[in-house]
Structure 1
Amino acid sequence: MSQVPVLAGENEQPKRKILSGGEYNRICQFINGFHGLAIDCEFELRNRFFKDVEPMALTCIVQSEVSNRTKSNHWKQDQRGKKLLKVYDEQKNLYDNALLIRMASVEALNPVALCRMLLQEKYKAQHRSHISQLLRHPHLIDDPQLAANVQQCIISDNQEGSITDLRRRIMGEEYELKLKNLAKEAGVHFYDEQDLRRMGYDKTPDIKMILPFLYKGSVVNWIESKANFGDTKKHKFNIQQQLQSYCNRFGPGIIIYWFGYHEETPSLPDNNIGITVLADFPAKEDLVFMQLAQEEFPAETPATIENSSTGSQLLGEPIIAECPIKELTKLS
């Protein structure tokens, strides 16, 4: 009997995005107890110990823990440059171009952070902006061997550096675009950040609804996209820096952590100001839109709604005032 071929990955279970407190703590303990580079720690988490967890969630947790550790040890790092430069000068003829990578692993430092401290010590007379330029363009370093070492550190560091910064920025833009596409597919009419800034708003969510809708009985006026993992600490920070002002100005809304969140994040008391936490775009069957009486629409209103980028309506208030609500109907 012939067998139907199975495509690679066809039977794989979807990776988990929402983590319990215990599992999240175990991941953090592994990261903080790992001896070596963050890129190697991430590889171990993904491929050996937490295979069923969303890989990007693990990436974000590593980033958060390493960042917290770096900040707590910042006062020590300013004093380590002289020692690092001395070790490098003593051993640079004993190893190939991997010396700085080895040193970063031994010192439990991000490779780019180690390079920054070493270069600051080596070029004391230069301004900090010059050091940043050398890290962006290591070929400008006058020592070819050191330049090769720094280049390798930049490539091998998944926490800092120009390559990492570019990757994170592109990922953030990619998921903002995903949010807009899913909103359009669901039939949501909205203003994006560019529309809102043209209207004079400074702090703006990724999309602001022209007409609010209901999600499981809660009114939604805006949606914020985060290509990140929503642990409780990061979520509280986002509330202070962004979400609270959105709620004050526009009313209740949704924040989407595309790579998942800590199970306690949605139930934090801080969310009571009108914040709903999700790990994906709301399911279509959970959305309820306002149906407007078509016979009472002004002739120009549909075109205004479709072409939200013109900014000719201020956040939809005139539309709501002119077009009485007929009923709320659930999407099929």
Structure 2
Amino acid sequence: MTHAAQQLAGGTVQQKRKILSAGEYNRICQFINGYHGLAIDCEFELRNRFFQDVEPNALTCILQSELFNRSRGQHWKQEQRGKKLLKIYEEQKNLYDNALLIRMACAEGLNPVALCRMLLQEKYKLRHRSHISRFLKHPHLIDDPRLAANVQQCMISDNQEGSITDLRRRIVGEEYELKLKTLAKEAGIHFYDEQDLRRMGYDKTPDIKMILPFLYKDTVINWIESKANFGDTKGHKFNIQQQLHSYCNRFGPGIIIYWFGYHEETPTLPDNNIGITVLADFPAKEDLVFMQLAQGDIHTKTLEETSSATSSLGKSREKGSPAKEIKKHS
């Protein structure tokens, strides 16, 4: 029995921490930026050696964010590196049976897929990203068998870029959207999902919009957004700018859930004052307060009616509503 299985059998599995202090977050970022090697190896070191008590998916997300910011700052340099990379490959391709591009990626401090993209662009004089992506998705189309094998190795050794990584991230995102809907139904929340809202003509939509709002710790909640990500302050501000600000303007206050945790300063940012509550999990049932409805009324509510319901619920919170109008979910 493995150590993990023994822990499960004994019921002693330690809960991984999701909310990180500024100091710990900075230590993780310093480790990432000082690491020399492939990102996939850096992720292994983060998860299994240096930060074992931190939620593993949080570490993966922080790594992704740090490497993305680094590559964006060096993009102008990378555009000029194709000729150099192709020359190195041509000079050394007969020295190694395999893994030459992996070795080059480590030496150059590049993601393997990014290196392949630059090398293929230079070798085949490709100017359209779609043509390069075709070779990356289907390496067997490359007329150089040795290069094709190297590209294939890079595709399965890169946890930051490529079709495999994109697919994994999309599946994880969909998994947690489904988790949100399942937990909302179990809590007794009635809602519209994104497909419902788009049929009604809305463009930017949260993952779920309440048919009737509820109270969460004395705050009116109209929508919940699911993020299979870690909520660092910079990324959260970007989400506010791109999505959450319009949700608050259109629907009122709501919740964003960062399932893999967040930086301790994220929930207290002044940017949240427009009506944003930051959580690392679905709200606890004991913290939810619902309006009481007669059986069948819930199905007759429309989006237009919920705006007036939000207003009345907000006034009830301020003035003190009669006990018969709301009930606490148990």
TM over 0.5: yes
CA-CA distance at 1:236 after TM superposition: 0.2
Q: How does 1:28-107 map to 2 (within 5 A)?
A: 28-107=29-108
Q: Unaligned 5+ residue runs, structure 2?
A: 1-5, 314-320
Which position in structure 2 is the counterpart of 1:317? 306
CA-CA distance at 1:10 after TM superposition: 2.6
Distance, in Å, in 2 between the alignment partners of 1:330 and 1:208 is: 20
Q: Partner letter of residue 37 of structure 1?
A: L
Q: Partner letter of residue 243 of structure 1?
A: L
- Size of the aligned set, in residue pairs, is 315
Q: Partner letter of residue 42 of structure 1?
A: E
Distance, in Å, in 2 between the alignment partners of 1:211 and 1:236 is: 28
Which position in structure 2 is the counterpart of 1:301? 297
Matched, 1:283 2:284: yes
Cα pair 1:257 1:277 within 8 Å, conserved: yes
Cα pair 1:199 1:314 within 8 Å, conserved: no
Change (3 A) 1:221 1:233: same
Deviation readout 1:206-258 (Å, 9 max, x if unpaired)? 00000000000000000000000000000000000000000000000000000
CA-CA distance at 1:314 after TM superposition: 3.0
Where 2:98 maps in the other structure, the secondary structure is coil
Where 1:142 maps in the other structure, the secondary structure is coil
Matched, 1:232 2:221: no
Which position in structure 1 is the counterpart of 2:136? 135
Deviation readout 1:80-99 (Å, 9 max, x if unpaired)? 11000000011111112200
Which position in structure 1 is the counterpart of 2:166? 165
**Structure with more of its chain in helix, by fraction:** 2
Cα pair 1:32 1:65 within 8 Å, conserved: yes
Cα pair 1:191 1:315 within 8 Å, conserved: no
Which position in structure 1 is the counterpart of 2:196? 195
Change (3 A) 1:301 1:280: same
CA RMSD of aligned residues (A): 2.0
Change (3 A) 1:319 1:239: closer
CA-CA distance at 1:127 after TM superposition: 3.5
User: Structure 1 stretch 131-140 or stretch 255-264: which is displaced more?
Assistant: 131-140
Distance, in Å, in 2 between the alignment partners of 1:302 and 1:72 is: 51
Which position in structure 2 is the counterpart of 1:329? 327
Cα pair 1:16 1:54 within 8 Å, conserved: yes
Cα pair 1:224 1:255 within 8 Å, conserved: yes
Distance, in Å, in 2 between the alignment partners of 1:51 and 1:95 is: 36
Which position in structure 2 is the counterpart of 1:310? none
Where 1:204 maps in the other structure, the secondary structure is coil
Change (3 A) 1:63 1:7: closer
Q: Partner letter of residue 262 of structure 1?
A: H
Change (3 A) 1:256 1:244: same
CA-CA distance at 1:129 after TM superposition: 2.0
Q: Partner letter of residue 94 of structure 1?
A: L
Change (3 A) 1:54 1:82: same
Change (3 A) 1:80 1:318: closer
Where 1:36 maps in the other structure, the secondary structure is coil
TM-score if structure 1 supplies the norm length? Answer: 0.91
CA-CA distance at 1:327 after TM superposition: 1.1
Which position in structure 1 is the counterpart of 2:316? none
Deviation readout 1:263-311 (Å, 9 max, x if unpaired)? 000000000000000000000000000113x3xx7xx634446xxxxxx
Cα pair 2:7 2:13 within 8 Å, conserved: no
TM-score if structure 2 supplies the norm length? Answer: 0.91
Change (3 A) 1:14 1:211: same
Where 1:214 maps in the other structure, the secondary structure is strand
Distance, in Å, in 2 between the alignment partners of 1:267 and 1:275 is: 10
Deviation readout 1:88-115 (Å, 9 max, x if unpaired)? 0111111122000010011110000000
Distance, in Å, in 2 between the alignment partners of 1:7 and 1:64 is: 32
